[in-house]
Amino acid sequence: MPPIASTLANTELPPFTAAAVFTRWTVDGWLAAGLLLAAGLYLYGVHRLKARGDAWPVTRTALFVGGGLGSIAFVTLSGIGAYDTTLLSVHMVQHMVLGMVAPIFLALGAPVTLALRTLPKKPRAALLGAIHSRVARVLAFPLVAYAIFVANPFVLYFSHLYRATLEHPWLHEVMHAHFIATGCLFFWPLLGLDPLPGRWPHPGRALLMVLSVPFHTVLGLTIMQQQLLLAGDYYPSLHLSWADPHADQVTAGGVLWAGGELVSVTMLAVLVVQWVRHSEREARRIDRALDREEALAAAAAARAAEKGETAPEEGGPGPDMTTLTQPQGAEYDQRAATS
């Protein structure tokens, strides 16, 4: 198969426009098949839940299928995918969606929880074993996921690897899958709704999200100020009369800088909302536990009064608050799997 560069040089694409995004759709490749399979499995799981009378939030389905899988399809099968090896700026838009936007929607769709509620006993046990395996614990540890998420773009763009992804279609699609995987690895423990091992409390997650903002600024500014073209003479070798590779590289760096900050700040807001809701749920749980303790104490006092015994003095030792605020541990996994 000839390199992509030589192919495009012989059949030059027209200038990239907004209309081209919607008129140059192509439905082929293993990625398209994988998207259809993932959507079908998710919708089948929702159907099984409803068939047995269980509820599943419509918002989760919309987030996973529409927001997650839909955004992946949009940037890989539309005109954005048609120009992703022609313009670095278009590639950066694709990079942002695959590595940051789509993984967030996928995580908010809670597919692991759906699978735990619908899979038969043996596959469900295998899935739980995989989630709590040593490999999963290491990869899902926030600092490890953060290091991979931050280091990967620098390794890709400032080495010969990026040019190889432009010249070999199979490696280009592997890069797409890699963006999605590293994004999921970073965002799933931070924003996801599924039960995962070693998840940090909300303050730690918020700190890690804040630390991801400067990374996009540094990478974007570095690309904008880079005198040498990324991928060497690949883009000039396309001989596109309507494109300036140097100006397009500056645009690409700006897309990465501004887009990264926008997504990070937005997701930080989502994380804060989740934090507040979690605190409210914990407060309600403690209130219910206190109400149960008070009801038990009142019942004991009533029985003692009926027998002519002395009721416990007011102001005596109340419920053990440590039992009300301890982490739920394995009980959390069980509750999340059935939520």
Tokens at 140, concatenated: 């899902």
Find where tokens 């838009």 sit: 93
Cα distance between residue 80 and residue 241, in whole Å: 19
User: What is the number of domains present in the chain?
Assistant: 1
Tell me, yes or no, whether 310 lies in a domain: no
Per-residue confidence (pLDDT) for residue 268, from 0 to 100:
74
Per-residue confidence (pLDDT) for residue 62, from 0 to 100:
96
| Residue numbers of the chain with a pLDDT score lower than 50 | 1-10, 311, 314-315, 319, 321-338
Per-residue confidence (pLDDT) for residue 1, from 0 to 100:
41
pLDDT digits (tens, 9 = 90+) for 314-329: 445 554 544 444 444 4
Tell me, yes or no, whether 297 lies in a domain: no
Tell me, yes or no, whether 142 lies in a domain: yes
Per-residue confidence (pLDDT) for residue 267, from 0 to 100:
76
Tell me, yes or no, whether 283 lies in a domain: no
Tell me, yes or no, whether 125 lies in a domain: yes
Per-residue confidence (pLDDT) for residue 309, from 0 to 100:
56
Per-residue confidence (pLDDT) for residue 250, from 0 to 100:
95
- Cα-based angle 212, 172, 257 (whole degrees, multiple of 5): 25
**Full-model pTM:** 0.76
Tokens at 111, concatenated: 């597919």
Tell me, yes or no, whether 115 lies in a domain: yes
Range of the domain at 72: 4-278
Cα distance between residue 4 and residue 11, in whole Å: 11
Per-residue confidence (pLDDT) for residue 11, from 0 to 100:
55
- Torsion angle of the four alpha carbons 81, 85, 87, 89, in this order, in degrees rounded to the nearest 10: 70
Tell me, yes or no, whether 292 lies in a domain: no
Tell me, yes or no, whether 336 lies in a domain: no
- Beta-carbon contacts of residue 260 (< 8 Å; ≥ 6 apart): 96, 100, 212, 213, 215, 216, 217, 219, 220
